[in-house]
Amino acid sequence: MYTKKFKKGDKVLVTSGRDKGKTGEITRILTKVGKVIVAGIAVYKKHVKATQNSSGGIRPMERPISFAKIALLEGDKPVRVGLVRTAKKHARISKKSGKTL
């Protein structure tokens, strides 16, 4: 299910959902479910019970977002990503400009 179009540290734009139009950086990729976690996007509050090692309370956490709901940013504009495979290496290219990302 994992696609190599997105990498950790990429700047992305959310294209649908509650956070539509917001931008952020990918902090983690969940390869088996085809989702990413973007910093500051899809934040919800989780109630955590106190333990001996940590105090309880309400903590903000980011939920995973599907690959289909994000677009990679080139400069400040969203672009579609294509994969080019040669004998020696693989590269990501912008479908709009043709530049390597």
Which range (57-61, 65-69, 88-92) has the least confidence? 88-92
Is pLDDT of 98 > 90? no
Structural domains of the chain ordered from first start: 11-94 (2.30.30.30)
- The answer, yes or no, to whether residue 93 has pLDDT greater than 80, is yes
pLDDT beyond 90 at 101: no
Closest by CA position to 40, among listed 26, 30, 29, 54: 26
User: Is beta strand 35-38 parallel, antiparallel or unpaired with respect to 43-48?
Assistant: unpaired
Q: Do residues 12 and 29 lie in contact, with contact meaning Cβ atoms separated by under 8 Å?
A: no
Measured CA to CA, the distance from residue 46 to residue 44 in angstroms comes to: 7
Q: Using the 8-state DSSP alphabet, how is residue 68 labeled?
A: G
Asked whether the beta carbons of 37 and 65 are under 8 A apart, the reply is yes
Per-residue pLDDT averaged across 62-84, rounded? Answer: 92
What is the value of pTM for the model shown?
0.82
- Residues contacting 94, CB < 8 A, separation 6+: 74, 79, 80, 81, 82, 101
Q: What is the mean pLDDT of residues 41-55?
A: 94
Share of the chain above pLDDT 90, in %: 67
Annotate 8-35 with b (16+ C-beta within 10 A) or e (fewer).
eebebbbeeeebeeebbebeebeeeeeb
